[in-house]
Amino acid sequence: MNQIALDIRGLAKQFGPKVAVDNVSLQVPSGSFYGLVGPNGAGKTTMLSMATGLLRPDAGQALVNGVDIWADPQAAKATMGVLADGVRQFDRLTGRQLVTYSGLLRGMERAEVTDRTEDLLRVMDLSDDGDKLVVDYSAGMTKKISLATAMIHSPKLLVLDEPFEAVDPVSAANIRDILNDYVKFGGTVIVSSHVMDLVQRMCTHVAVIAGGVLKAQGSVDEVRGEMTLEDRFVDLVGGRANNEGLSWLRTSSN
Amino acid sequence: MVAHILKLKLRLLANGFKRSVGQLVGVIIGGVYALGLIVMLTLAAWFTAGESAIAGEVSIIVASLVVLGWAVIPPLLTGVDLTLEPSRFVHFGIPQKALGPALVLSGFISVPAILTIVGLIGGSLTFRYDPLALVVGIVAAIITAVMAVLVCQYLTIMATALRAKRRFREFTFAVLFLILVCLGPIISSIAMAASSLVDLVVPIANVLAYTPLGAAAALPGAIAAGNYVQFGICLVLTVIYLAGLYWLVSRATAKATVTPPPEQQAAKQSGLGFFKYAPSNPAGAVGARALTYWFKDPRYAIGVLMVPVLPLIFWFVGNQSGNYTMMFLLGPFIGILLGFSISADISYDNTAFALHVLTGVSGRADRAGRALACLTLSIIPVLAAAILPGAISGEVWRIPGDIGMSLAALLVALGVASVASARYTYAVPLPGDNPMKTPPGNGMRVALTQLATFTTMGVLLIPVIIPYLIAWFQESQGLSFLTLGIGLVLGIGLFLGGLVLGGKWYENRAPELMQAVMLNK
């Protein structure tokens, strides 16, 4: 078995004059729950897009369970499930059809697809909504059904871009349980998030990325040292220059 | 506050142009074309001044058409730029007294509105020999433009409320499309029926002069003709219509700013639909998904609607010329159009295409699924269109040739479209958008791509077209069967070839296709 589930080697991407991702290398160990954190526009989504085959990098490699995704995309994608951020779904399908579609697209057996679709709908708490068109789903429900499409082939590696955005606390807790279970039995999860508290509680490893550059990576304890992850993050990214605040926002002074 | 909102609208207009050079070029070309039309109209008005006895009536009809156009086209067909839709201002506590006028005025800050005003003023030059009528004409032109924008805004607000319901949206578009397609034949029949157009202008104009469409435009004509009674009546009507419309618009605006978006009735479909019947492999799954979209996504419905509409148009042409030869070409035409309709498939997917990229589905499976879905739907209409004309006219000898030509057209079109859509994507209406709405400024690129695609199909079909035409001229059953044979061999060969080549291109370019659909270009 491969020790590194996702090995990113010097990935770089430039859009016009703007360097979105600047020569980032990081290793996600197998069996880890890996958090990828960074401020808005840091290049998280761009980097994950390059690591999952959605965006061709200018330079660098991404090895998924030892297979270079840009050299042998089909083999690499077979062992990976991805929840991409900011993309649509085939939303004229019902939730059940969409998950089934995702399974069949990967060449799975129909009987297996049917069983797993029902299981996934159940754990995502979508059993009652399986016959509704995805276009009529709320943002959180769409996130959950997208997560189901990423998990149906029981991948070794799950790459989840902002999985908890717009998801209600109960569903988020359920999803966390599912992911924890999945990691416990040998799976690897990468999540990108803004919520430091969540990452600190949930993840075993973390990488901080800002301005397209990798600022730190390692186990959560290594990265945060004596501080909380949030303080360490602000420290690394350097965002709290101005402490004056908004004096006029203190309505009591009026 | 009014000034702020107007500035916002100006900024939005300017930023819209900044988005891409291609779009700017498109807008400039469109603008030059429209300006050309306006110059022509103005010149026509200038030179016919004083020469036409019915200038007043003609300007009433022109003005009425302009107002009608504003009333129908933006709210129902193209959709309006809704960036300043009243409901967007729900969260700002803007006093109603300021918001109403601001939104009405901002309606004038758009290229079409400015062109309308300029064009109508140009048209009023037809009264240049009568200074009083000319002044009244210019004022009337401005009032007509105001009326047009007001009507448009009112109907847009009304339509937006209704359109929020998806079913309604999909239904109206289908009805409108049918009407639009049939409009040409209907109008031409009416025009043929009337012995002289001039006979129609005067009575129609006389009615329109008392409606909101033409009341303002009737003013200069009445002055020029010295008909002061009509002038008075129309003036009063104009004021009433204008005030009434303004009241309606501001009331609708007020209502829209405090009305939350309506709840949608969720659509249901139990079971797996087409997925249940499709083969359990990636190609079958893509096919089932594509078929579902053919039925559920109104953007595909345009292609399907061609099937009943095309015979209607051909029959109409035949009816008017007395020659029904065109009907024999229905099969090939429907075949090529239906086959072509999958050439925007990936563009229609938009970013949902990410699922295909992420699952690593093979290019061949993707191409085959989409093409087979279209083939499943098309085969029966194409065969019917190929067989029925020959059967009805009793020329049985030609039926095999018609079948061969039609199937070849369908299969070759599918093959070529499978290759083209793996390479060329273009801006299309987004999923859930109004299917008639064309994203601005990419007309040239779309036209070039489509022209190249159709030309390729035509060239590839030459080996079938030659025996087909010879069989037709010689009325030879033997050659007709030969056409069938060649058509099937060539069609199936190029269909499969298209899937293989398209699949290869698809696999090489999947990430680039993904980036293209993210930008919808």
* pLDDT tens by residue, B423-434: 888 778 788 766
Chain B, 314 to 353: residues with Cβ < 8 Å from chain A are: 349-352
Q: What is the mean pLDDT of residues A50-74?
A: 93
Rg (CA), chain A: 19
B289 touches chain A (CB under 8 A): yes
Nearest Cα residue to B379 out of B328, B413, B436, B335 = B335
pLDDT, residue B211, reads 84
Strands A205-210, A213-219: parallel, antiparallel or unpaired by DSSP? Answer: antiparallel
pLDDT exceeds 80 at position B304: no
pLDDT, residue B284, reads 94
Q: Environment class of residue B258 by beta-carbon count within 10 Å: exposed (0-12), middle (13-18) or buried (19+)? A: exposed
From the list A74, A101, A136, the residue facing B362 with the nearest CB is A74
d(CA B63, CA B119): 10
pLDDT exceeds 70 at position B203: yes
d(CA B351, CA B431): 10
pLDDT exceeds 60 at position B266: no
Length of chain A: 254
Q: What is the mean pLDDT of residues B190-203?
A: 66
Contact B471, B483 (CB under 8 A): yes
pLDDT, residue B97, reads 73
B496 Cβ neighbours under 8 A, 6+ residues apart: B415
From the list A82, A87, A101, the residue facing B289 with the nearest CB is A101
pLDDT, residue A148, reads 93
pLDDT, residue B95, reads 75
Bridge partners for A158 per DSSP: A81, A189
B106 Cβ neighbours under 8 A, 6+ residues apart: B5, B6, B8, B9, B84
- Percent of chain B at pLDDT > 70 equals 82
pLDDT exceeds 80 at position B164: no
Q: What is the mean pLDDT of residues B197-210?
A: 77
From the list B270, B289, B432, the residue facing A90 with the nearest CB is B289
CA A237 to chain CA mean position, Å: 20
Task: Provide the phi-psi class of A10: left if phi over 0, else alpha when psi is between -120 and 50, else beta.
Answer: left
From the list A73, A87, A91, the residue facing B354 with the nearest CB is A87
From the list B355, B357, B360, the residue facing A78 with the nearest CB is B360
From the list B297, B356, B511, the residue facing A105 with the nearest CB is B356
Chain B nearest C-alpha distance from A63 (Å): 15
pLDDT, residue B106, reads 79
Q: What is the mean pLDDT of residues A166-189?
A: 87
Enter the ipTM: 0.91
From the list B267, B271, B358, the residue facing A82 with the nearest CB is B358
| Band (B116; pLDDT cuts 50, 70, 90) | confident
Mean residue pLDDT across chain B:
82
User: Which stretch of A234-243, B74-83, B290-299, B464-473 has the lowest confidence by average pLDDT?
Assistant: B74-83
pLDDT, residue A252, reads 59
pLDDT in tens, B334-385: 999 899 888 888 989 989 999 999 999 999 999 999 999 999 999 999 999 9
A68-73 own/partner pairs: CB under 8 Å, 24+ apart: A73/B360, A73/B507, A73/B510
The answer to whether B272 contacts A100, with C-beta atoms less than 8 Å apart, is yes
Closest-CA residue of B relative to A73 is: B360
Mean residue pLDDT across chain A:
88
pLDDT, residue A239, reads 66
| Band (B110; pLDDT cuts 50, 70, 90) | confident
Q: Copy the structure tokens of residue B295.
A: 């039925």
Which has more confidence, A97 or A249?
A97
Which has more confidence, A52 or B520?
A52
Contact B266, B116 (CB under 8 A): no
pLDDT, residue A116, reads 94
Exposure pattern of B138-148 as b/e (b: 16+ CB <10 Å)?
A: bebbebbbbbb
pLDDT exceeds 80 at position B490: yes
Q: What is the mean pLDDT of residues B197-213?
A: 78
Chain B, 110 to 129: residues with Cβ < 8 Å from chain A are: none
Which contiguous run of DSSP H or E holds residue A215? Answer: strand A213-219
The answer to whether A93 contacts B292, with C-beta atoms less than 8 Å apart, is yes
A89 touches chain B (CB under 8 A): yes
| Band (A167; pLDDT cuts 50, 70, 90) | confident
Chain B nearest C-alpha distance from A135 (Å): 9
Residues of B in contact with A101 (CB under 8 A): 275, 285, 288-289, 355
Alpha-carbon separation of residue B471 from B47, B163, B464 (angstroms): 56, 52, 11
pLDDT, residue A146, reads 93
Closest-CA residue of B relative to A15 is: B515
- DSSP 8-state code for residue B271: S
pLDDT exceeds 80 at position A131: yes
B276 touches chain A (CB under 8 A): no
Chain B nearest C-alpha distance from A155 (Å): 11
pLDDT, residue A147, reads 92
Highest mean pLDDT among A82-96, B23-37, B209-223: A82-96
Residues of B in contact with A53 (CB under 8 A): 357-358, 360, 510-511
pLDDT, residue B99, reads 75
- DSSP 8-state code for residue A84: -
Contact A148, A118 (CB under 8 A): no
Residues of A in contact with B283 (CB under 8 A): none
Closest-CA residue of B relative to A52 is: B358
| Band (B509; pLDDT cuts 50, 70, 90) | very high
| Band (B34; pLDDT cuts 50, 70, 90) | confident
The answer to whether B268 contacts A94, with C-beta atoms less than 8 Å apart, is yes
The answer to whether A101 contacts B285, with C-beta atoms less than 8 Å apart, is yes
User: Which stretch of A197-211, B124-138, B328-342 has the lowest confidence by average pLDDT?
Assistant: B124-138
